[in-house]
Amino acid sequence: MFIQRFLPRTAGRMLLLTGILLSAPGAVAAQGWMEPVRPGIGVARRVETDVRVTIRGPVAEVVVDEWFQNQGSTVAEGDYLYPLSVGVALSGASLYQGETELRGEVMDAAQARGIYEAIVRRRRDPALIEYAGEGLFRARVFPIAPGERRRVTLRFTQVLETAGGSLHFRTLGALRPGGNGSEASNSRELAPVRVEIRVAGGEGFLDAFSPTHGMNQERDRDDLLVR
């Protein structure tokens, strides 16, 4: 997302008006996945994603809810992995499984590269190499029984980049189709993804535009709401 500033002429005065440009480099944005901790263990597949972003000035508050289901016959256990844009300043990152907070770690690009490359070698899935050079959030998720469905919630605060009078919001997640952990790279099974972006004080904002995704937008009192 790029938030660009313009100085239009309104009622004889120079006012600050802001516009939003949404873009994403892949088919689906803002998804994590579950990576099995060892060969032969059950796999929990992502079945739903709900992303809520609230932008207040130069700060974005992001909440990612993801539902995983063990569709196998054995207990599933793994690491929850969520790619992070390199250079993004994060604070307050936390992951919850239900009401229980999980211990996680935020890795920079150098730390994350080894993990991405190891997954590529193990799964023979070169598509993941696209994340080399990006950061990563990782946390171990509790065992999930066969047939069980679990929700994990990732929360973080992101300080938006500024350049040329613009604020930039960028999110990665598993942008490629089929980003469900150990699924084969040719899988095209897509779980539903809902994204809602609320810009506080958006009454002075231009309409949003995306060259890659259809979207709806509305004015909600003083806010701009994009879905």
Domains and CATH numbers, the chain: 2-226 (2.60.40)
Q: Amino acid identity of 18?
A: T
Per-residue model confidence (pLDDT) at position 129: 62
Cα dihedral: 166, 53, 170, 27 (round 10) = -130
* Strands 193-199 vs 223-226: parallel, antiparallel or unpaired: antiparallel
Per-residue model confidence (pLDDT) at position 22: 45
Per-residue model confidence (pLDDT) at position 202: 63
Which portions of the chain are predicted below pLDDT 70? 1-30, 86-91, 124-133, 162-190, 202-214
Q: What is the DSSP string of 76-128?
A: EEEEEEEEE-TT-EEEEEEEEETTEEEPEEEE-HHHHHHHHHHHHHHHT-GGG
Where does the chain have alpha helices with state H? 109-123
pLDDT tens digit sequence for 51-82:
898 988 778 888 889 899 998 888 888 888 88
* Strands 135-144 vs 217-220: parallel, antiparallel or unpaired: unpaired
